[in-house]
């Protein structure tokens, strides 16, 4: 069994063994995605309810990719927001579904896309889709895939697109979560973004474009 991160954003990450580190069967994918997308789009600025446990399930994703996404979650831990991130014990428990596609997401340059659903200003579910190849059929280098994972996890936590120097910029060139990203996320959970004119762009269905 592989080690995966079980992380409380209010403290240091710890490690636990997950019996579900391997990819799940394809037959469950649509059921989980339909459930995750059944809620209405949230109203920005939106956050997970304080104290929420984000339960992540991987669909059609290799172990190396899963490790990359867990590392992305850990990179946001210094924001010290009141959430816990764990691997879902079963597909029915998951409120975040992470999917890796062997095909381009569409004809655009996007390499990842996150869809958020919930009620009002409260996030309840999210689906992240990643592509293994670009629109020209070429494998996406690991460094760019890692950057995409950092960016999409930021969306899952509630951030929209940020300033040019941040990993949350729509065409990010940063290779890590920056101090500005962490400050934005902390402010979001302290209720300091009051309208769409300040802070990151409103969160909708948001693609990453390298």
pLDDT digits 0-9 by tens, 121-178: 899 998 888 888 888 888 888 898 899 999 999 999 998 888 888 898 887 778 899 9
182: which 2 tokens? 């962490």
pLDDT digits 0-9 by tens, 39-89: 667 777 789 998 899 999 998 788 888 999 999 999 998 888 889 999 998
CA dist 147 and 102 (Å) reads 18
Residue 5's nearest CA partner among 91, 75, 81, 94 is 75
Domain CATH for 40: 3.40.390.10
In a domain, 99, yes or no: yes
In a domain, 138, yes or no: yes
pLDDT digits 0-9 by tens, 77-105: 888 888 999 999 888 889 999 988 878 77
Domain that holds residue 128: 28-191
Residue 92 near residue 34 (C-beta atoms within 8 A) = no
In a domain, 184, yes or no: yes
Amino acid 206: pLDDT:
41
CA dist 23 and 100 (Å) reads 10
Q: Which long-range contacts (CB under 8 A, 24 or more apart) does 178-185 make?
A: 181/76, 181/154, 182/76, 182/78, 182/79, 184/159, 185/76, 185/79, 185/81, 185/154, 185/157, 185/158, 185/159
In a domain, 206, yes or no: no
In a domain, 132, yes or no: yes
The predicted model scores a pTM of: 0.77
The domain tally of the chain equals 1
- DSSP letter at 40 equals B
Whether the link from the prior residue into 45 is cis, omega within 30° of 0, is yes
In a domain, 187, yes or no: yes
In a domain, 67, yes or no: yes
In a domain, 50, yes or no: yes
Q: Residue 114, exposed/middle/buried by CB under 10 A (0-12, 13-18, 19+)?
A: buried
């Amino acid at each position: 069994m592989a080690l995966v991160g079980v992380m409380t954003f209010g403290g240091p990450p710890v490690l636990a063994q997950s019996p579900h580190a391997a990819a799940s069967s394809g037959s469950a994918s649509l059921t989980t995605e339909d459930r995750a997308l059944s809620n209405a789009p949230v109203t920005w600025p939106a956050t997970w309810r304080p104290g929420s446990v984000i339960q992540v399930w991987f669909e059609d994703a290799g172990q190396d990719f899963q490790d990359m996404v867990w590392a992305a979650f850990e990179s946001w831990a210094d924001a010290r927001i009141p959430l816990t991130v764990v691997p879902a014990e079963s597909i029915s428990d998951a409120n975040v579904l992470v999917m890796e596609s062997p095909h381009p997401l569409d004809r655009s340059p996007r390499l990842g896309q996150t869809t958020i659903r919930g009620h009002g200003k409260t996030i309840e579910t999210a689906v992240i889709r990643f592509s293994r190849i670009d629109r020209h059929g070429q494998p996406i280098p690991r460094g760019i895939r890692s950057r995409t994972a950092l960016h999409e996890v930021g969306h899952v936590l509630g951030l929209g697109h940020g300033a040019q120097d941040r990993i949350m910029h729509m065409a990010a060139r940063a290779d890590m979560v920056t101090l500005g990203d962490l400050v934005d996320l902390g402010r979001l959970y302290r209720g300091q973004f009051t309208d769409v004119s300040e802070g990151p762009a409103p969160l909708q269905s948001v693609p990453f474009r390298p």
